[in-house]
A and B are shown apart, each in its own frame.
Chain A
Amino acid sequence: MDILTWTYILVGISFSIYIGIAIYTRAGSTKEFYTAGGGVSPLANGMATAADWMSAASFLSMAGIIAFSGYDGSVYIMGWTGGYVLLALLLAPYLRKFGKFTVPDFVGDRYYSNKARVVAVFCALFISFTYVAGQMRGVGIVFSRYLEVDINTGVIIGMCIVFFYAVLGGMKGITYTQVAQYCVLIFAFMVPAIFVSIQLTGNPIPQLGLGGTVEDGTYLLDKLDGILVDLGFNAYTSGQKSMTDVFAITLALMVGTAGLPHVIVRFFTVPRVKDARLSAGYALVFIAILYTTAPAVAAFGIYNALNTVADQPVNQMPEWVGNWQQTNLISINDVNQDGVVQYTPDPVTNEMVIDKDIMVLAAPEIARLPNWVVGLVAAGGLAAALSTAAGLLLVISTAVSRDLCRTFIPTMTEKRELWIARIAAAAAVGIAGYFGVNPPGFVAEVVAFAFGLAAASFFPVIIMGIFSTRMNKEGAIAGMISGLVFTLGYIIYFKFGAGLFGLSDEAVSADNWWFGISPEGIGSLGMIINLGVCYVVSMLTPPPPQHVQEIIQEIRIPRGAGRAHDH
């Protein structure tokens, strides 16, 4: 069977499973819609969290980014996993004990202020919309490459699927679909990785294969360093970014991860505080399987590409190069007309441009794996994008129905709230789809916002809310706003300053970064500013009232978390 048939079969099967689960587990109450009734087992929740967290970017782009940046790519590897330690130790158990439904819920109650709640809602909406637009685009790309439909048709099909199970099923539906999606995506990521590892290094475990030897007996990484240095690039195992910047980006990504509302909210769905702790551990295990494999996929991919394309005759390119040239994800242009492909760091003489997304998408073809593996990768990419999109849509709909409508119309019936949640989810799907069809040119840049904002706004305020009994609403609001304004301002200045305010290229160049910290890493400085401001302001204003002190004492003790529904 050809690739297209296999892809249709595998994507079709996986989609029917998701829809079947959604119908079987649809939500009946707001509690089920928001937090699946709090009755999800820690293992299932860990798997769902992993699928929720690993987006199209983790599945499709990350290995490619590492392949082209080598050691510098470590910021994503450590940054997007280390956050789970913070989540497990500092947030998840206490927020589970708190026992409400959303992050703005916690901020609003702990800081006894609807102003604080509204600031938190704004952050949650901004972060989630930023993310979801990228996911929809990812769905469109996979559809257009593998199913040979128009990219916009792909986005619309994706919207219908997500609409169906997010709007109908709420958190309960999403949780069990995400469990299925995790299984699909991890299988799809590992199968080609294992095959390629065996081909290149003879070791079936990619994590070990990365440290293995290639045909001529030299270590893969040493060989890769050698090839790249010969071509005029930096060695693979050493980076180009400054140490300060690597430090700042890693910190911002870790703290940002721990502050992302769609990740935090997953820990509200387990029955007990101890389950929340354990569940974070399971989540990281499931995430680690992909994240420890990705660096291997990256190194194998770039090694294969360099070996089969660089310095080879233009008319003898392997078949996959031709296939992917049609999608513009790889382009070869024999600038100096010598009939050989030169790969160099200088854009003037370089003759091969490879898009980072190709490393995972094309890996099965590069390694000449059977056609069903190619179809599997397509299904995996869709699972990764859809599971994250659904989690984000839920945060958006909850923010609107619960954090906004419920706060200002407290007399609303539960049935009505559930309807508002569903309408909000439907509207969010529509908006996300619009951005998928008409992607703003700056999607990649905006991701820096999402993490920066989560790091500079949510994280410090939640931490202080748990670990300090003195932190009051004045401190929290001042802290959130100053962290937010500083981080936004810095990113806008350096990322969009030239376009928006006509600043000179020199003014926005890397030479002017504060302490050499790039906009991607500035969230870590924003977080420190937030903490500093909150501390000073809270010391100058009255301590929180007695009932808030009691909330804090209560969330610190595990026993007595709200009872959960059985499923």
Chain B
Amino acid sequence: MDVASRKKYWKKNIKILLSLLAVWFLVSFGFGILLVDQLNQIQMGGFKLGFWFAQQGAIYFFVLLIFIYVVRMNMLDREFNVNEE
């Protein structure tokens, strides 16, 4: 693999990472901690929304994020022909 496409691969990788980590931060530190009081004004069934994010919701998003990462990276690996057999 030549240097130019190595760089390009890595740059795209970083872009995927940053966008997923932004969501990671938003659902846990954002919704679960920093904005918890505002979100608690919203009632979702028996839950206050902020409390729900802090004790359940964030985890569902974490799981989702990892699987999105797996799919996106497998696509990227194939695109740059660095995938494993």
Contacts and interface: CB of A to CB of B under 8 A. Distances in A.
Given A85-B65, A291-B59, A237 B48 contact: yes
B69 A221 contact: no
A430 interface: no
A90 interface: yes
A88 B1 CA distance: 25
Contacts of B74: 274
Of B1, B55, B56, B62, most buried by chain A (CB within 10 Å of CB) is: B55
Of A81, A82, A292, most buried by chain B (CB within 10 Å of CB) is: A82
B70 A78 contact: no
Contact of B59 (A93, A211, A281, A288): A288
Given A85-B66, A247-B34, A557-B82, A292 B46 contact: no
A397 interface: no
A213 interface: yes
Contact of B47 (A77, A84, A93, A221): A221
A78 B69 contact: no
Interface string B70-85: 1001100100001110
A277 interface: yes
A272 interface: yes
A547 B48 CA distance: 54
B9 to A, nearest CB: 7
Interface string B40-61: 1000111110011011101110
A89 B59 contact: no
Contacts of B32: 74, 78, 250
Nearest to A249: B33
A219 interface: yes
Contacts of A212: 45-46
Interface in A227-284: 237-238, 243, 246-247, 250-251, 254, 272-274, 277-278, 280-281, 284
Contacts of A89: 17, 20-21, 65-66, 69
Of A81, A84, A281, most buried by chain B (CB within 10 Å of CB) is: A281
B55 A74 contact: yes
Given A243-B33, A561-B84, A211 B77 contact: no
Contacts of A210: 46-47, 55-56
A86 to B, nearest CB: 8
B84 A558 contact: yes
B59 A277 contact: no
User: How would you classify the secondary structure of chain B's contact residues: helix, strand, loop or mixed?
Assistant: helix
A219 B58 contact: no
B4 interface: no
Interface string A282-294: 0011001001100
A556 interface: yes
B16 to A, nearest CB: 8
A285 B55 CA distance: 15
Contacts of B66: 84-85, 88-89, 277, 280-281, 284
B40 to A, nearest CB: 7
A553 B1 CA distance: 11
Contact of A250 (B6, B33, B52, B63): B33
B51 A88 contact: no
Interface in B9-31: 9-10, 13, 17, 20-21, 24, 28-29
A220 B46 contact: yes
A49 B4 CA distance: 37
A17 to B, nearest CB: 28
Given A90-B17, A280-B66, A288-B59, A213 B83 contact: no
A150 interface: no
A553 B48 contact: no
B58 A81 contact: yes
B10 A556 contact: yes
Contacts of B1: 557
A82 B48 contact: no
A295 B55 contact: yes
A347 to B, nearest CB: 27
Of A74, A90, A291, most buried by chain B (CB within 10 Å of CB) is: A74
A90 to B, nearest CB: 7
Nearest to B9: A557
Given A78-B59, A285-B63, A71 B54 contact: yes
Interface in A24-79: 66, 71, 73-74, 77-78
A280 B63 CA distance: 9
B33 A247 contact: yes
B51 A221 contact: yes
A274 B73 CA distance: 8
Contacts of A81: 58-59, 62
A409 B56 CA distance: 50
A221 B46 contact: yes
A558 B29 contact: no
Given A88-B69, A89-B21, A250 B29 contact: yes
A445 interface: no
The 6 closest A-B pairs by CB, nearest first: A211-B46, A219-B46, A74-B54, A281-B66, A295-B55, A237-B51
11 contacts: A71-B54, A74-B32, A74-B33, A82-B28, A85-B65, A211-B45, A274-B73, A288-B59, A288-B62, A288-B63, A560-B84
